[in-house]
Chain A
Amino acid sequence: QEAAKYEKKVLVLDFVTPTPLGNSWGLGGTCVNVGCIPKKLMHQAALLGQALQDSRKYGWQFTEEVKHNWMTMTESVQNYIGSLNWGYRVSLREKNVTYENAYGEFVGPHTIKATNKRGIEKLYTAERFLIATGERPRYLGIPGDKEYCISSDDLFSLPYCPGKTLVVGASYVALECAGFLAGLGLDVTVMVRSILLRGFDQDIANKIGEYMEEHGIKFIRQFVPIKVQQIEEGTPGRLKVTAKSTTGNQVIEGEYNTVLLAIGRDACTRKIGLDKVGVKINEKTGKIPVNDEEQTNVPYIYAVGDILQDKLELTPVAIQAGRLLVQRLYAGATGKCDYLNVPTTVFTPLEYGACGYSEETAVEKFGEENIEVYHSHFWPLEWTVPSRDNNKCYAKIICNIQDKERIIGFHVLGPNAGEITQGFAAAMKCGVTKEQLDSTVGIHPVCAEVCT
């Protein structure tokens, strides 16, 4: 859309290869269809369940037993996503960007072959190319995984309630999904191979896990599934999962209605003809290395988003990188995407917002004696009346002693973590120090003031 502003002739090819279970979706990519958007809406549904409980303590009276209807929620969510798909189609049309719902692959220099749903092929040539094909969920490679398990690609449009669910994985996808499924009243178990939220601050990751466990989510640690079998067909059916310990020979079995795999995502780079044009990829991960101007090793081919090597898999990063790239190419701009201090939020039942270094990486990079960690538990005012956990919410700031106690890491665990973290990320972009933080007056009574 940015390129079209500069009156360039632009073509967008978008195609969704159906999931093993046959699921597909419209224009917009992962975030809109099977990521951020439906995830946050379902997380909201779960939060509302909690709000219903709280509201009784605040004087509200209603039906004694509260139940959740999966279909009502999913239909609403899918309707909204449909409106976004439509909105994108209209937007591209209005900006004179040609759109084809077809699978693109390189067949030679400057040439791409587009194959649509009916198998009809067309060839297109362009001066420049941008690869932004993103990723898809990884499967375990065990018997029964593709036949019986679902992934996040299927969950958000599942036409029946998933029932008793086993979530395999410890990524933020796994924990967020496990979180909202439990919040909607389902029986949820999470099977974890080793640690939670690899790459995130581990102190906080453990607090998140603890909170989830205290709120009814079961964890099976240090096990991996080795086989999934169907006991009974149905919507949902019944599945038997066999798992093996990672530390010994113990084998366990469990029965679930649904098995959700969330063990990682693989870049969609292996079947788009990159070898035909010489674009190098990391053979192991499938990701594409680029320079700081998002250029691949082939000068006229660029890449943005989840497929980039060593970059963050986040929607706003992809958007920013894409826009700036086009401004550099066509508007003479020089601004590059700033990948430093990119804030992020994990929408687990207890939300986690973070920006900058985790405590471990700060210690690794600067040395323990050169960093100062300020921290505090807090009790959101709104949790007092309904007597909810009074020592679970937590905020942590990591400062670099050698650089005027500049804030190099910000972490907050509590409600509305994303809303809180955004502003602090802006402040970190300005190089905020602990002293400036101390002299900033808090807004009362809100959770965020605990950070000042």
Chain B
Amino acid sequence: GKNEYDLLVIGGGSGGLACAKEAAQFGRKVAVLDYVDPSPQGTKWGLGGTCVNVGCIPKKLMHQAALLGNALKDAQHYGWNTSQPVHHTWSVMAQAVQNYVKSLNWGHRVQLQDKKVKYFHMKGSFSDPHTIRGLTKAGKETIVTAENIVIATGGRPKYPTHIAGALEYGITSDDLFWLKESPGKTLLVYCPFILHLSGVIVCISLTNASPDVSLECAGFLTGIGLDTTVMMRSIPLRGFDQQMASLVTEHMESHGTKFLKRCFPTKVEKLENNRLQVTWKNTDLGTEEGDSFDTVMWAVGRAPDTETLNLETVGVKTNSETGKIIVDASEATSVPHIYAVGDITEGRPELTPTAIAAGKLLARRLFGQSSELMDYDNVPTTVFTPLEYGCVGLSEEAAVQRYGSDNIEVYHAYYKPLEFTVAERDATQCYIKMVCLREREQRILGLHFIGPNAGEVIQGFALGIKCGATYTQLMKTIGIHPTCAEEITKLHITKRSGLDATVTGC
């Protein structure tokens, strides 16, 4: 018979909702299924997906809380009579953040209603290529059929289940933002997933997103005054430009976050006073060490949420290593009329704006006679660590690999934000790097910025790079004074010259 819906979207997150709402604009019959399996600690949330509930939004708000802690210190230098030390109350912040997130959940419900998109609060799985079986919490079943189906179920944090006590006593980012009480003395563990297979250690490298989760969380926890430690087995921010990554962690280290480098945990036990005892191996010293914490948070990667979808039944192919759904440039899976967008797709950045853009374009191709494909090149991103890092394009390593170090020119500068001067703040890691092709007009391949408001700074330049901006054009652009961003238009010292790259005066 005829399918009930033109489009059925499984997953009400950034990608799914964008796709559904766009399709509805074309007058199509659209439905969205959204369901959140509670985390092992029992945390769950409403409509909106990872970004809204346990990602970008609460993360940035808590980051802002930490930044405001800095502002309180700065304020004294600028003449305000705030006395130190000041005190932060987790529950006030958490409640405010959680209330805002709930308003967004509500907002999304209303939007779907306004756009006449049917919303099912159910967990979906495939019965056949055009049929989805939806299950409510109470176990009630609903069968829905659709001409086109988009899978946008995203991912969930992984647990290092091979570590004793990891699942029982540890939390993840799924839980952190919903804690009612302060996490207290916290250990954040960031390490590639290690499988022990009969004596052979197999390392599975991380996907894009997680490396920054642990650093961002550690950053704001330190900023609000908590005793915070990050444990990592190898390098931070894998996949990002390594020089920038080390500047970011250097800054965190000099501002109170403790790092246990080249260490990995072996077990987590609960103590009598409800604290957690963590034991770990220090690979540098070859020793075993331990300490007690109030909270242990795992940031060991995210797994695509495909297990209960029943993909094998319909033949949707996934990547054997990552488990993510394989799609082509038009977001199509191996099965006709079944598509996928967002964190669940293989080889795509795990970012909200790309999921939204891909979802919208997909809807326009399906129902709006458009043929425009999603452009995943030069997608800008920002890591919201205490000193923020924004970037777009290639890292220096990637550029060297692709073009050879003789064919690229790297411009760089250490600068000091004006606002740091009176506040007597340390600007050692405030740094800008621009990687260009060496020939002729010197097309810009990558731009990296560490400093306050990094996201705001990078956004416009990402647009410029999309237009093929060159160093020559950048030099013709007059700076806005006094800002941090203007330093980008003043870059002129190359790494090759070996000269001191510290900016001096106007």
Contact = CB atoms under 8 A, between A and B. Distances in A.
A443 B462 contact: yes
Nearest to A414: B456
B422 to A, nearest CB: 4
Contacts, number: 292
Which of B69, B80, B100, B382 is the most central at the interface, judged by chain A CB atoms within 10 Å of its CB?
B80
A429 to B, nearest CB: 5
A426 B88 contact: no
**Interface of chain A, main secondary structure:** helix
Contacts of B91: 59
Contact of A51 (B68, B92, B94, B459): B68
B372 to A, nearest CB: 8
A353 B459 CA distance: 14
Contacts of B75: 45, 48-49, 51-52
Nearest to A65: B81
Interface stretch (A5-13, A219-227, A260-268, A312-320): A312-320
Nearest to B351: A444
Interface in B377-392: 379-382, 390
Contacts of B198: none
Which of B90, B461, B478 is the most central at the interface, judged by chain A CB atoms within 10 Å of its CB?
B478
A123 interface: no
Interface string A310-328: 0000111101100000000
A440 B69 contact: no
A134 to B, nearest CB: 14
A286 B90 CA distance: 60
B81 A63 contact: yes
Nearest to A83: B421
A422 B78 contact: no
B504 interface: yes
A426 B463 CA distance: 9
Contacts of A315: 481, 506
Given A44-B419, A342-B478, A447-B456, A61 B86 contact: yes
A72 B423 CA distance: 12
Which of B375, B421, B469 is the most central at the interface, judged by chain A CB atoms within 10 Å of its CB?
B421
A419 B453 contact: yes
Interface string A159-198: 0000000000000000000000000100000000000000
B449 to A, nearest CB: 10
B8 to A, nearest CB: 26
A15 interface: no
Contact of A87 (B71, B468, B505): B505
Contact of B57 (A31, A36, A61, A381): A381
Nearest to A58: B65
Contact of B80 (A41, A48, A424, A448): A48
Interface stretch (A17-25, A73-81, A146-154): A73-81
A63 B478 contact: no
Contacts of A448: 455-456, 459-460
A418 B421 contact: no
Interface in B429-470: 453, 455-464, 466-469
B80 A67 contact: yes
B328 interface: no
B476 interface: yes
Interface string B59-73: 011001100110110
A418 B418 contact: no
Interface stretch (A111-119, A269-277, A300-308, A431-439): A431-439
A441 B467 contact: no
A430 B72 contact: no
A59 B96 CA distance: 9
Given A419-B484, A423-B462, A60 B381 contact: no
A452 interface: yes
Contacts of B459: 420, 423-424, 442-443, 446, 448-449, 451-452
Nearest to A75: B79
Contact of B354 (A40, A48, A427, A441): A441
Interface stretch (B285-293, B405-413, B485-493): B485-493
Given A36-B481, A441-B379, A52 B506 contact: no
Nearest to A42: B78
Given A49-B75, A58-B64, A420-B460, A316 B480 contact: yes
A45 B421 CA distance: 12
Interface string A138-157: 00000000000000000000
A361 interface: no
A281 B352 CA distance: 57
A71 B453 CA distance: 29
B483 interface: yes
A6 B79 CA distance: 45
Given A54-B68, A60-B87, A60-B88, A424 B481 contact: no
B51 interface: yes
B482 interface: yes
Contact count band on A: 35 or more
Contacts of A384: 61, 100
A40 B61 contact: no
Interface string B192-227: 000000000000000000000000000000001000
A55 interface: yes
Which of A28, A40, A45, A59 is the most central at the interface, judged by chain B CB atoms within 10 Å of its CB?
A59
Nearest to A430: B467
A36 B469 CA distance: 29
A76 B425 CA distance: 13
B162 interface: no
B463 A432 contact: yes
Contact of A382 (B61, B93, B506): B61
Given A423-B464, A437-B463, A441-B357, A446 B88 contact: no
B72 A52 contact: yes
Contact of B478 (A28, A72, A76, A320): A320
Nearest to A56: B92
A103 interface: no
B87 A61 contact: yes
Contacts of B41: none
Given A443-B459, A448-B459, A426 B380 contact: no
Given A60-B88, A442-B353, A423 B467 contact: no
Nearest to A338: B476
A81 to B, nearest CB: 10
Nearest to B357: A441
Contacts of B294: none
A345 interface: yes
A416 B456 contact: yes
B479 interface: yes
Which of A68, A76, A443, A451 is the most central at the interface, judged by chain B CB atoms within 10 Å of its CB?
A443
Interface in B354-375: 354, 357, 375
A58 B481 contact: no
A432 B467 CA distance: 6
A55 B68 CA distance: 6
A344 interface: yes
A445 B356 CA distance: 13
Nearest to B388: A446
A445 B57 contact: yes
Contacts of A427: 460-461, 463-464, 466-467, 469
B150 interface: no
A77 B423 CA distance: 10
A71 to B, nearest CB: 8
B142 interface: no
Given A60-B87, A446-B456, A422 B77 contact: no
B477 interface: yes
13 contacts: A48-B78, A57-B92, A58-B68, A66-B80, A72-B77, A73-B422, A76-B78, A416-B456, A420-B459, A422-B457, A423-B458, A423-B464, A445-B57
Interface of A: 28, 31-32, 36-37, 40-41, 44-45, 48-49, 51-52, 54-55, 57-63, 66-74, 76-77, 80, 84, 87-88, 91, 184, 314-317, 319-320, 338, 341-345, 353, 381-382, 384-385, 416, 418-427, 429-432, 436-437, 439-449, 451-452
